[in-house]
Amino acid sequence: MYDIHNHVLPQVDDGAKGMRQSIRMLESAIHQGITHVICTPHANDHSNANANDLFNDRLAALNAEAAKLELPIEIGLGAEIMFGMNMQKVLTQPFGTLNGKGKYSLIEFPRQTPFDIIHNVVKAVVKWGYVPVIAHHERYPLAFRSIEQLIKLRTDGAILTMDAGSLTGQFGLPMKRHSRDLLSTGHIEILTSDAHDDDKQNFCLAAARDEAAAIVGLPTAKEMVTDAPRRIWNGEEWPQFKAV
Ligand SMILES: [Fe+2]
């Protein structure tokens, strides 16, 4: 499996607090069949070349430790970028696109962001030459009030993702129900761990895949944690979405 959204990079945000915790998280990821992770520390309008240096230093340290321990996992870099007025500039940083491929950007919004703003950001990011990957779409209640909203976002070039923990019940029963409903629309394309620690918010991609299988079927659920995120890891083209 491939995970394109997590906070396993040590001491850069509210994720892993140190190298030991990062390694425990990676061991858990490996145990459930994850072979590739793109670290996505939080970034915002203030994230600049200094942030890029910090992220890359930590990535080098994490890769060195993983190699020393012979962990069978590949680790790349990106960021989870909070929408802001300076976003176009932030996206040009090496961490601005996932796995440094210059193509896919992971973007998050404040929870109560209106649909029209998310839609306009999607269109702007596409115009700037990137593919917007929306982080945890289940957290934006104003942006999935109807199937039409989901279709508009995808038609205009967005890829919608869901956090594994939302499906497994990590954030409570209402969020779990809500996420199951959203998943059943067929418009969520990737499941991500959004792992923050080695405890309650750890990698839980295998459990989420199994939860998803009961809703969308096992082949689709598997694709959401393998083929689809692998395209992002490799920087391959995304299949054009056509509403039926
Ligand atoms: Fe995140």
Give the residue carrying structure tokens 């995304």.
Answer: 238
**Mean per-residue pLDDT over the chain, rounded:** 97
pTM over 0.85: yes
Distance 6 CA to ligand 1 centre (A): 6
- Inter-residue contact 109 to 140 (CB < 8 Å): yes
Q: Write the burial class of residue 31 (CB in 10 Å: 0-12 exposed, 13-18 middle, 19+ buried).
A: exposed
- The domain locations on the chain are 2-234
pLDDT band of 11, cuts 50, 70, 90: very high
Distance 230 CA to ligand 1 centre (A): 19
Distance 165 CA to ligand 1 centre (A): 11
CATH class for the region spanning 2-234: alpha beta
Distance 161 CA to ligand 1 centre (A): 11
Buried b / exposed e across 125-152, counting CB within 10 Å, b at 16+?
beeeebbbbbbbbbbbeebbeeeebbeb
Distance 98 CA to ligand 1 centre (A): 13
- The pLDDT of residue 243 is 79
- The pLDDT of residue 242 is 83
Distance 78 CA to ligand 1 centre (A): 11
Q: Say whether pLDDT at 244 is over 80.
A: no
Encode pLDDT of 112-138 as tens digits.
999 999 999 999 999 999 999 999 999
Distance 39 CA to ligand 1 centre (A): 10
Distance 7 CA to ligand 1 centre (A): 6
Encode pLDDT of 62-114 as tens digits.
999 999 999 999 999 999 999 999 999 999 999 999 999 999 999 999 999 99
Gap between the Cα atoms of 113 and 151, Å rounded: 18
Closest of 51, 53, 31 to residue 42, by C-alpha: 51
Encode pLDDT of 144-182 as tens digits.
999 999 999 999 999 999 999 999 999 999 999 999 999
Encode pLDDT of 20-77 as tens digits.
999 999 999 999 999 999 999 999 999 999 999 999 999 999 999 999 999 999 999 9
Distance 244 CA to ligand 1 centre (A): 31
